[in-house]
Structure 1
Amino acid sequence: MSKLHSAAEQVYREVKERILSAGLPGGELISEGEIAAEMGTSRTPVREAFLRLEAEGWMRLYPKRGALVVPVADGEAEHVVSARRLVEADAVRAVAAAPAARAELVRRLRAGLDEQRAVAAAGDVAEFSGLDADFHRLIVQAGGNPLLDTFYAGLRERQRRMTARSLARDPLQLASIIDDHARLVELIDAGAAEQFETAVGEHMRRVHGLPRGGDR
């Protein structure tokens, strides 16, 4: 790998992480020069990274002005939450009929809850948003449908960004999210698939500030 490509990859990963963790909020205009200076590189790898982020839909480039971090689109949170609820509910229906798989999922989710509590105590919102996304994906993976797992994986980055944005707006949500997760684990453990679907929908809508009643 050339030094230029390596530098561009490093810039790409760093800037994308800031976008996903709400360190660079939607609507913010940044310049190649400021990122280059901050990361100790030339503008060329920054430009390459910005072009890649634009192709993925995270940025919009304006010649001589800079790069705009694309805000979460109107209605996007609603669509992501609706899709996630359907996929997670399907997975829980599958594990409800498979006691061994359900027990293993519950074990892994409870271990994840311990990690979430430790990260929340440290106040690391960026790290927590990643753990939150991993918690929900564990549920989907346990359903055993590789097509739905691949689809859900495509939502992970959008989910992370939405959660980080919500936590940046109200960091006190950390405790309530963990409480919600603990409740979801208990419903899975009980094999209560229908109650889980209602609870996970309410949980996601509350976290992302969406009105209730739009899940069905």
Structure 2
Amino acid sequence: MPAPSPSPAAPASPAAPTTPPAQKPPPAADRVYRHVKEGVLERRYEGGVLLTEGELAEAVGVSRTPVREALLRLETEGLLKLYPKKGALVLPVSAQEIADVIETRLLVEEFTVRRAVPAPPALLERLAELVAEQRRCAGRGDLAAMMHADRCFHAEIVRHAGNQILCRLYDQLRDRQLRMGVALLHAHPDRVERSLAEHTEILDALRCGDAETAAAAVRGHVGRVAELVRGTGR
């Protein structure tokens, strides 16, 4: 008598879809920090404005304790000055601060652009993408986005040097300069095309493997920014 054939296996039930874990919101102090810092850098909070803990707590939807923590962080970055029981004063951009930022940018960027030679293909490709992005932003008149791409262009070169301390320092420098950058482009629309040409000059020097020409191009580019900020150039 033939053995009974095995019954077919029941089809496996489909696995239940996995729900990605919900991301925790950032800590309250971090939310306040970002809110205030973006407001200062984007000039929604102009220099000379006094920010109160109560107003910020209400705007972000937190208690006053994380507000104090965030304001202390921003004071250490030189964006605010705290006054006990009054609030935090948004510090105006001073002529000395501008000079210090530009001088330090030159030191960092000349050093790191030399270190970028010979530049690997991945770096050159990324820099070319950022120049193209700046041109697209300029074409549609989005100067804030153009400034962001400008910052990324220089930051890519700085990061390539592999010095994390310089990377953090450079980010702080560009934060401080951001308040003046978009205003300059609005005041000097001809500067948009010149900036694109100068970035292209830096990129071309890196493609050629010419460290000294690249450093000279960076020096000229950052130096012209300094002249504009001082009101002595175009």
Counterpart of 2:174, as a letter, is Q
CA deviations over 1:48-89 (Å, ceiling 9, x no partner): 322232233321112343311123344333333233333333
Take 2:75 and 2:128, find their aligned partners in 1: how far apart are those partners?
38
1:185 CA drift (Å): 1.0
Runs of 4+ in structure 1 off by over 6 angstroms are: none
Per the alignment, residue 176 of structure 2 pairs with: 161
Answer yes or no: is the 8 Å Cα contact 1:84–1:152 preserved in 2.
no
* Bigger helix fraction: 1
Counterpart of 2:181, as a letter, is S
Aligned-partner SS, 1:75: helix
Per the alignment, residue 7 of structure 1 pairs with: 28
State how 1:179-198 maps to structure 2 within 5 Å. 179-198=197-216
| CA separation of 1:124 and 1:6: change in aligned 2, threshold 3 A | farther
Unaligned ranges ≥5, structure 1: 212-216
| CA separation of 1:49 and 1:141: change in aligned 2, threshold 3 A | closer
Answer yes or no: is the 8 Å Cα contact 2:33–2:70 preserved in 1.
yes
Take 1:11 and 1:38, find their aligned partners in 2: how far apart are those partners?
9
Which one has a bigger Cα radius of gyration? 2
Answer yes or no: is the 8 Å Cα contact 1:106–1:188 preserved in 2.
yes
1:162 CA drift (Å): 0.9
> 2:137 aligned to 111, 119, 129, which one?
119
Which moved further from structure 2: 52-61 or 79-88?
79-88
> Identity across aligned pairs (percent)?
38
Per the alignment, residue 214 of structure 1 pairs with: none
1:89 and 2:107 correspond: no
Per the alignment, residue 39 of structure 1 pairs with: 60
1:110 CA drift (Å): 0.4
1:121 CA drift (Å): 4.1
Answer yes or no: is the 8 Å Cα contact 2:42–2:179 preserved in 1.
yes
1:21 and 2:42 correspond: yes
Counterpart of 1:137, as a letter, is A
Greater RCO structure (CA 8 Å; 6+ sep)? 1
Per the alignment, residue 207 of structure 1 pairs with: 225
Counterpart of 1:150, as a letter, is I
CA deviations over 1:79-116 (Å, ceiling 9, x no partner): 332333333333333443x3xx3433221100111222
Answer yes or no: is the 8 Å Cα contact 2:134–2:196 preserved in 1.
yes
Query: What is the number of residues matched between the two proteins?
Result: 203
Length-normalised TM-score, structure 1: 0.76
Take 2:141 and 2:54, find their aligned partners in 1: how far apart are those partners?
31
Take 1:56 and 1:85, find their aligned partners in 2: how far apart are those partners?
20
1:10 CA drift (Å): 0.6
> 2:149 aligned to 128, 131, 154, which one?
131
